[in-house]
A and B are shown apart, each in its own frame.
Chain A
Amino acid sequence: MKKTTAILLTLAAIASSLLTGCGGEDETIKVGALFAVTGGASFLGAPEARTADMLVEEINADGGVDGKMIELIIKDTAANPEKAISFAKQLIEEDKVVAIIGPSTSGETMQIKELCESYKTPLISCAAAEAIVDPVAKYVFKTPQKDSYVANWVFTTMKEMGIKNIGIVGANTGFGNAGLGQLEKYAPDYGINIIAKETYDKAATDLTAVLTKLKAKDVEAVVNWSIVPAQSIVPKNMKQLGMDVPLFQSHGFGNIKYAEAAGAAAEGIIFPAGQLLVAEKLPASHPQKEITTAYKTQYESKFNEPVSGFGGYAYDSIMLIVKAIEKTGSIERNDIRDGLESISGYAGASGVFNMSASDHNGLDMSSIEMLTVENGEFTLYK
């Protein structure tokens, strides 16, 4: 008897939740989010999820978009492409979201790119690899700065310093491999020779052996292109080996925790990143001054942790959808897509977005600055 009651109660609970799930939601804007909140890429996904939650809460508190509330459905992919695929299907087919933001990593994004195309659902990726928007896919956008800008900034700086022969290292992740590819592609344009190239495991614990190889070849500078925690081991190991050449990192270093983990060895690292990290050091006339300072202050006071570029990608993803809806006044997937493509002059956390049919990233070289670490803080280089 007790058992039957329990079963009936459970069924009733399920039924009622289904009913509430069906009713009265025409007025919300359902946005799906795929973030690697846990797992090996959690340092990307966790700030992204926190940022998206915070921003949506704020938008809804201010009355939503055109009077409609945003309903954010966050799925934790744990950086697993298979999970990303099944969650993406679930979001599109069952939750009927109008757009998806994320995934956090390039590998996952490339896996669901086709899916979003075939379901005609706008996807705004928070991952860096250039291949996401090159070639352009009709429904796929991304907010982080392109790899090629980053590579070009690194080489421009090297050329100014008169560096000729360099060694490059990177983690064997989607981000690392794509980045090393970009470096190899653009190096000849600047007359720079890559005389050593090494990849390391993302769970590496000691990289002196790799760096010994570079040291033996007398490289004049090292580029470390990585987004995993192991990247902080490179500067430490370089100092231990007595390598005094300049160390360049990628925009994947844009999390102050990585600088903290490298401690004194982080001093003087040169890396390209968005303006968000140095918001308070931007001149007042800078177009991104207001938004970056506001987001940074809000995030840091709410979560009591330093802001990172990654959260900024999620911030822009949400804001781009909001702008697109405001522009077209519709919450149909196709209209949002058209709206996204027509956004211009939106100053976001990662740069000023000027989307077009041929550019689904919309950022240019000015979205990146060369930064360096000084007294344990990020600051503008030079």
Chain B
Amino acid sequence: MTFDQVLQYIFSGITVGSIYAFVAIGYNIIYNTTGIINFAQGEFVMLGGMIAYTFSGFMALLPSVIIAVLLTAAVGGVIENVFIRRMRRTSVLGMIVITVGLSILIREFSLYIWDEQIRALPFFTGSEISSVEIIGARISPQVLWVLAVTAVLTVALYIFLKFTLTGQAMRACSENPKAALLCGIRTDRMISLSFMVSAGIGALGGCVVSPLTQTHYAMGSDLAVKGFTVAILGGLGNPLSAVAAGLLLGLIESFSISVLPMAYKDVISILILLIILVAKPSGLFGSRAAAALKDY
């Protein structure tokens, strides 16, 4: 393997990894406030891409992306209000099953609205054929967009969770919902907010990667499995470790291609999921003590 090739694999890995990270961050935010694994997370990514594509027909790219993020966040809010809030008495497992149902529902609605064809947003800068050279490796300018958005998002999320009152309240909910409630934190609002934020983040991811990966109504379920693997790998409950785990999985997958046919890369990620679940269920960066407090 030459140096150029290695570099190329690295870029390929972090591009794919960023996509996984977008999904995994969403899993974590919702898991933190509710203990639910929201399997409709992949659908938020799909919705983001689809809505932005639809609006980009009438307006510039930036406003259509903003509209897509806001609309998808609204969908997340509606889901929380209509389903999750009213099913609070159901067990956590029951709610997880509800999210699986919701993902199917959203997918079928999308098939109805957007049909089965693939769509791709235009490239944010340049076009399908433009390419940037970075120390021997060549990548699409869109990859830089993906990396930049991932980086900005990670930093913004860190600041939000660490330094803002709302972010701290959200973290309090994740530490101990009852105690948070006793401290005067409106946990139900936090849950609503967490659904909206993770739907919005998913949608943003869906928009940024759409020029590269294309958007298809059924793309959500594959992303959901990958995102879940990453969330588990990083340790459930920490959105920032999800980013690290996402990049790690992306890199592993991309380098595995040099030895194995690419069709096996899913085998690798599922294998990693199994190993982590058996060997260290709290994830690479998660703490055992924190995991013990959770239902799942």
A residues with a Cβ closer than 8 A to B are: 38-40, 42-43, 46, 172, 198-201, 203-210, 212-213, 216, 229, 232-233, 235-237, 239-242, 257-258, 260-267, 305
Contact = CB atoms under 8 A, between A and B. Distances in A.
B108 to A, nearest CB: 8
Give the 4 A-B residue pairs with the shortest CB-CB distance, closest first.
Answer: A42-B116, A265-B128, A172-B263, A263-B128
Determine which residue in A46, A203, A235, A264 has the highest number of CB atoms from chain B within 10 A of its CB, and name it: A203
B11 interface: yes
Determine which residue in A199, A209, A232, A257 has the highest number of CB atoms from chain B within 10 A of its CB, and name it: A209
Nearest to B11: A208
Interface string B1-26: 01001001101110110010000000
A201 B120 contact: no
A312 B288 CA distance: 59
B261 A236 contact: no
Contact of B119 (A204, A233, A261): A261
Interface string B105-134: 000100100011111101100011111010
A230 to B, nearest CB: 8
Interface of B: 2, 5, 8-9, 11-13, 15-16, 19, 108, 111, 115-120, 122-123, 127-131, 133, 138-140, 143, 209, 212-214, 216, 218-219, 222, 253-254, 257-258, 261-263, 265-266
Contacts of A213: 5, 257-258
Given A206-B12, A209-B13, A261-B214, A200 B254 contact: no
B261 A199 contact: yes
14 contacts: A43-B118, A198-B261, A200-B263, A205-B212, A206-B213, A208-B8, A209-B9, A216-B2, A233-B213, A235-B128, A236-B140, A241-B138, A261-B120, A265-B128
A263 B15 contact: no
B127 to A, nearest CB: 5
A347 B30 CA distance: 58
Contacts of A235: 128
A240 B257 contact: no
Main secondary structure, interface of A, reads helix
Contacts of B212: 205-206, 233, 236
A200 B262 contact: yes
A38 B111 contact: yes
A216 to B, nearest CB: 6
Given A39-B218, A200-B262, A210 B257 contact: yes
B118 A257 contact: yes
Contacts of A236: 128, 140, 212
Contacts of A267: 129
A179 B261 CA distance: 17
Nearest to B222: A203
Contacts of A198: 257, 261-262
A367 B270 CA distance: 43
A229 B262 contact: no
Contacts of A240: 130-131, 138-140, 143
Contacts of B138: 240-242
Contacts of B5: 212-213, 216
A257 B117 contact: yes
A283 to B, nearest CB: 31
A262 to B, nearest CB: 6
Nearest to B140: A240
Determine which residue in A42, A205, A242, A264 has the highest number of CB atoms from chain B within 10 A of its CB, and name it: A205
A17 to B, nearest CB: 25
Contacts of B254: 209
A30 to B, nearest CB: 27
A239 to B, nearest CB: 4
Contacts of A172: 263
B8 A209 contact: yes
A105 B269 CA distance: 27
Contacts of A261: 118-120, 214
Nearest to B221: A203
A269 to B, nearest CB: 12
